[in-house]
Amino acid sequence: MLASTVLESGTGEMNGLSDAAAITCRTDDRKFFDELVQKYHKQAYNVAYRMTGNHADAEDLTQDTFIKAYRFLDKYNRDMPFENWLYRIMSNLFVDTLRRKPKAHVRSLDEPVQQEEGETLIEIADSAAGPEELALSSELDAEMQQALSEIPEDFRLTVILSDIEGLSYEEISEVMGCSIGTVRSRLHRGRRLLREKLKKYLE
Amino acid sequence: MNCNKVRSLVSAYVDGELPGVEMLAIRQHLSECSNCASEYESLLNLKRLFGRLQPKHPRSDLATKICHRLDEMSQPAHDRWLSIFAKYIQPFPSRIRLAAAALAVLSALLVIRVGGSSYSNILSPTSVISTVASARMQNQAGAFVPQTALGTSVIELHPARDNPWLSPMPASFVTQRDTFTVRTAGFYR
């Protein structure tokens, strides 16, 4: 509610300017940047969540993205939509964070675990009383999120930007700093991996 | 177009991101090849599935948090320290707050004095005259010299910076207005 109010009353679009054009005119205007935060933080958070797979990391990543965007606002190129520039910053931050963190092994739930008495599968206690009580949408959401988390981050971000955010190949190539051919290839390979993990929902 | 070629392009076909000629060729192939058509269907369903994901919503105070961090970032460092200090002493009665502020100032002064005196121990000047520091000087070699009082003929060593002062040799120094001669023989390590 607040965000939409600010959106309607505050940003440059009211004055006939796109956000991109307004930003280049008002790089030192804190109040204006606050309005951009209000307008774009939900969208940015959604991508951050799909990248990281949890709320705490998504919140940190979103915050860091806006802080960095504010610091480097004078480097913003108005030819790119503001949200796409945010995604670019976010993707760089995400990769940097992964490099700094000790490598965590993401284990698929279907992956057998070696034990003394042979292989076994990981069992996770189900807090719900029965499968019927778990809403399909949240179960599916969790499965899809898990599948996303298990594919390489370049593929993951490409799929998120294409299929969740609806960006074109050209826009994705700008965000990720790669060629359109690379975008095509990452989507092709990423989707095949995802399809394998989610095949029971695709039949 | 053969099956291998179609399968390498079908993901981009799903997105409508191929040139018109290739789009038409693939469409033609899909109408004739059930295997490739099923490959296409599965990728299309996958894309639709991700398109149907509900957006994840942040906590309601995320934007406020971001703006707050931006405020902190825009604040000069000394203001940040002051506001942190003010926040900590806020719950206390005014007398205690005043005492805490006085203590903080005294501590700061003490740190400065202790820093100075430790350096004085090294230099141990026998003839320190002026305590006024108002002008920057350079020695003849161009090295930076501590701030001194213009117009005074004997200069105090500022307990901060410069090795050239440790020289046992007499040295003269020039400012824009005056020339000073400083006896350094009285100083020793």
**Which residue intervals of chain A bear CATH 1.10.10.10?**
113-202
Predicted local confidence at residue A31, as pLDDT = 82
Rg, C-alpha atoms of chain A:
20
**How many CA atoms lie within 13 Å of B48's alpha carbon, on the beta-carbon side?**
8
Higher pLDDT, B105 or B4: B4
Judged by DSSP in three states, B76 sits in coil
The Cα of A117 is separated from the nearest Cα of chain B by a number of Å equal to 38
Predicted local confidence at residue A21, as pLDDT = 59
Indicate whether this complex's ipTM tops 0.90.
no
CB contact at 8 A, A32 and A17: no
Query: How large is the average pLDDT for residues B158-164?
Result: 43
Q: Which fold has domain A113-202?
A: Arc Repressor Mutant, subunit A (1.10.10)
Q: Name the burial class of residue B148, with classes exposed (0-12), middle (13-18) and buried (19+) by CB atoms within 10 angstroms of its CB.
A: buried
Nearest-by-CA chain A residue for B59: A59
Predicted local confidence at residue A49, as pLDDT = 95
Cβ distance A37 to B46 less than 8 Å, yes or no, reads no
Judged by DSSP in three states, B163 sits in helix
Whether B69 has its CB under 8 Å from any CB of chain A: the answer is yes
Q: In B39-51, which positions are buried (b, 16+ CB within 10 angstroms) versus exposed (e)?
A: bbebbbebbebbe
User: Poorest-confidence range of A73-77, A178-182, B92-96?
Assistant: B92-96
Cβ distance B50 to A141 less than 8 Å, yes or no, reads no
Two tokens at B114? Answer: 């202790």
Two tokens at A190? Answer: 């990423």
Predicted local confidence at residue A130, as pLDDT = 40
Query: Considering the domain A2-100 in this protein, what is its CATH number?
Result: 1.10.1740.10
Considering Cα of A155, then A159, then A161, then A164, what sign does the dihedral take? negative
Chain A residue set in contact with B, beta carbons under 8 Å: 2-3, 30, 33-34, 37-38, 41-43, 45-46, 49-50, 55, 58-59, 62-63, 66-67, 70-71, 137, 140-141, 144, 159, 162-164, 166, 168-169, 184, 187-188, 191, 194-195, 198-199, 201-202
Q: Name the burial class of residue A70, with classes exposed (0-12), middle (13-18) and buried (19+) by CB atoms within 10 angstroms of its CB.
A: buried
Whether B67 has its CB under 8 Å from any CB of chain A: the answer is yes
In tens, the pLDDT along B62-92 reads 999 999 988 887 766 566 566 666 666 677 7
Query: How large is the average pLDDT for residues B97-114?
Result: 74
**Which residue intervals of chain A bear CATH 1.10.1740.10?**
2-100
**Residue of B74, B61, B54 whose CA lies nearest to A38:** B61
Predicted local confidence at residue A137, as pLDDT = 76
Rg, C-alpha atoms of chain B:
38
Q: Chain A residues with CB inside 8 Å of B4's CB?
A: none
Q: pTM value? A: 0.60
> Which positions 9-28 of B are in contact with A (Cβ < 8 Å)?
11-12, 15, 17
CB contact at 8 A, A117 and A152: no
Cβ distance A169 to B50 less than 8 Å, yes or no, reads no
Long-range interactions of B50-53: CB distance < 8 A, separation 24+? B50/A144, B50/A159, B50/A163, B50/A164, B51/A163, B51/A164, B51/A166, B53/A50, B53/A141, B53/A144, B53/A164
The Cα of B63 is separated from the nearest Cα of chain A by a number of Å equal to 6
Query: How large is the average pLDDT for residues A179-198?
Result: 96
CB contact at 8 A, A61 and A41: no
CB contact at 8 A, A199 and B43: no
